[in-house]
């Protein structure tokens, strides 16, 4: 069986077409893999940065709560009121965005994801239960006095957990 010139050209063009399709799909696969790796890196950096910011908020709130010049609860509540009034929206956004990014960090191990979620849970406690701005002042002062010990305990756990998250490599 002998092939005509038209059949040879068609066969040759078919082989070239298949080669181009294979090359193109390989290149697209490479680009997609690179994009996913870059996204993972981005999300991990953002989460680590957000956890550092959470640590800063913890430190500042603890500093205000433990300040020696505050023998009078009204002084403490005034400073905590000022701080929470200025920073509460930022702290809530920080929790929301970190939760969102945490769902996007696909390569994070389940154990490490639980640690990060635990950090966010404790930080939510700081915002909503430690000194709840939505409650009357007297109730806030009472909750604050009851929760001071828990704040120190949570801070120690936060430092341990945040060090684990910071060491994770993508």
Of 94, 90, 105, 129, residue with least CA distance to 43: 105
Q: How far is residue 24's CA from residue 30's CA, in Å, rounded to a whole number?
A: 10
Query: Domain map of the chain by residue range?
Result: 37-166
Return mean pLDDT, the chain: 86
Sign of CA pseudo-dihedral 31, 37, 40, 42: negative
Sign of CA pseudo-dihedral 106, 110, 111, 117: positive
* pLDDT reported for residue 24: 97
Burial 84-96 (b: 16+ CB within 10 A, else e): beeeeeebeebbe
- Averaged over successive runs of 10 residues, the pLDDT of the chain (170 residues) comes to 86 95 97 93 91 89 73 69 90 93 87 88 88 82 79 79 74
């Amino acid at each position: 069986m002998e092939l005509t010139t038209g059949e040879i050209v068609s066969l040759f063009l078919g082989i070239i077409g298949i080669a181009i399709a294979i090359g193109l799909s390989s290149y697209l696969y490479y680009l997609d893999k690179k994009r996913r790796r870059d996204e993972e890196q981005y999300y991990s950096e953002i989460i680590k940065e957000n956890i550092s910011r959470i640590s800063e908020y913890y430190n500042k709130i603890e500093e205000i709560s433990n300040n020696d010049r505050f023998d009078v609860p009204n002084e403490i509540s005034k400073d905590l009121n000022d701080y929470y009034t200025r920073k509460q929206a930022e702290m809530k956004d920080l929790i929301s965005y970190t939760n969102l990014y945490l769902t996007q960090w696909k390569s994070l191990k389940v154990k490490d994801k639980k640690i990060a979620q635990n950090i966010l849970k404790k930080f939510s406690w700081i915002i909503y239960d430690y000194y709840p701005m939505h409650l009357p002042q007297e109730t806030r002062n009472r909750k604050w006095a009851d929760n001071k010990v828990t704040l120190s305990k949570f801070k120690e756990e936060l430092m341990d957990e945040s060090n684990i998250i910071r060491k994770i490599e993508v």
